[in-house]
Structure formats: C-alpha cells, structure tokens
Amino acid sequence: MTSKAQNSEAHETTDHNVIQKWAEERGGKPATVKATEEDGHAGILRIDFDPPDEALDRISWDAFFEKFDESGIAFLHQDRTKDGKLSRFHKFVRH
C-alpha cells in the first residue's frame, strides 16, 4: 500500500482533541440538528462547515463533547483524499 492510500483511509477515534483539531483544520464547527434538540440540550451531532447549514445550530465544543460522550459514539474521519487533498469525510458511528 502506498502512503497516499494509507492517508486516504478512515480512522475512528473518541479523543476530543483529535476531533476538535480535525474539524477546526477544515473550518468545521460543532453543531446539532435543530429538529432533534430537547429542552436546550444537543440532539444529533454534526460538524457544520461554511456556509452554515440552516437545519443546524452551532454549539460549544463543551456541549458537543458532553452529548458525544453520553451517546457512546465514535468519530470516523479521513485525513486526506486519495489525491492528497484535505478531506472533510466524517461520520459518527456506534462505538
């Protein structure tokens, strides 16, 4: 496997620092899906990129990681595309 192929692989993590750094390097902000919020608490988590998605509410990293930890999920992400460009591919998966 070439190093380019290795870089395009997805990685799973629950490390808050890794997740925040990955998102911020790509201009991503922590967010929740508006329709899933309950009593002011975050619902389904997302990373929102500009321009802001109207279906999302941006939240603090603290609120994001509180919901992240309670949900028992992990963050699956790709650092680079196969051609070496910065990737925004990510999703939340059951841990």
3-state secondary structure of 10: strand
Per-residue pLDDT at 87 exceeds 90: yes
Instruction: Please tell me the distance from the alpha carbon of residue 76 to that of residue 27, in angstroms, as a whole number.
Output: 17
Which carries the bigger pLDDT value, residue 2 or residue 91? 91
On whether the CB atoms of residues 28 and 88 are closer than 8 A, the answer is yes
Which residue intervals of 1-95 are DSSP H helices?
3-7, 16-25, 61-71
pLDDT in tens, 11-61: 999 999 999 999 999 999 999 999 998 887 888 999 999 999 999 999 999
Instruction: Please tell me the distance from the alpha carbon of residue 28 to that of residue 82, in angstroms, as a whole number.
Output: 21
The predicted model scores a pTM of 0.86
3-state secondary structure of 45: strand
pLDDT of residue 2: 34
